[in-house]
Amino acid sequence: MAANDVYKKQAAEAAVELIQSDMVLGLGHGSTVQFALETLANKLQSGNLKHIVAIPCSKHTEAEMRRLGIPLGDLNAHASIDLTIDGADEVDPQYNLIKGGGGALLREKIVAQSSQRNVIIVDEGKLSSTLGTKHTLPLEVIAFGWERQRDFVAKLGGKSTLRVDAGGNPVLTDQGNYLLDCEMGPIADPAALAQALEARSGILEHGLFLGLANDVIVAGASGLRHLKAKPK
C-alpha cells in the first residue's frame, strides 16, 4: 500500500472511532472515505456498532454501502445527521475546505449542512496555507450555456476547464450536470468568492466549504493529528 493510502486509512479508522451506536451518519465520497466505509462495515459485522443508518453523498458511495451491508438512510426521513465523515482536496488553517475533486460536491454540501458534526479525514498533503494553492476549485454547472460560466470565472480572475472523460465527453455529476475545474490561484477572500459564485445563475454549487468542518483528522509521517474548530 502506498504511503498516502496508509495515511488515508489511518485517518479513516480514527474517524470511525467517533461513531456511536444509534447514530444517523453521513458518508462522503472518495478514496479516503472508502477506507471509512470498510472500517464501519467491519464494526457493524462484529457487533461493536449497532442501529446505524447512513446517508450517502454519491451513487458510488451508495453502491459501496449496499455491497458492504451498511444500512442505507434517506435524508428526507432525517431532519438532522449526527455525524458526517468525508474527505477534502485542500484544508486551510481555519479548516475551510476545497472539495469536489471527485465530483460529488453538491450532495456533499447538502449533507454537510444537515450535519451536527462534520469530520474531515485527510493525509497531510492536503493541508495548505491558502485555499487554491494546491487544488483547483470545482463548480457544478448546468449544461445549458456552460461556457458563459467559464466567461464569468475569467472575469473573477480564474481560468476554468470543462471536466471530460477519457473519450473527451463531459463528465456528468450524479445530477447530470457538468463540472468546471477552476484555477483561481491563492484565494485571498474565500467568503467573497463564494458569495459571487452563489449569486450567478447556472452555477449550482461551488467547492468552497467554509465554516462547515468541526474536526479535521490528519494522518502523515509524524502520526495522527485531531484538529478541532472552535465552537461557533
Q: What are the catalytic residues?
A: 108
Residues 152 and 205 sit within 8 Å (Cβ to Cβ):
no
HSE-up of residue 154 (Cα within 13 Å, Cβ side): 7
d(CA 121, CA 96): 13
What is the gyration radius of the CA atoms in the chain, in angstroms? 17
Which amino acid would we find at residue 101? Answer: G
d(CA 125, CA 91): 9
The three-point CA angle 76-141-184 to 5° equals: 115
d(CA 142, CA 202): 6
The cell numbers describing 142, all together, are 448546468
d(CA 80, CA 41): 22
The cell numbers describing 31, all together, are 478514496
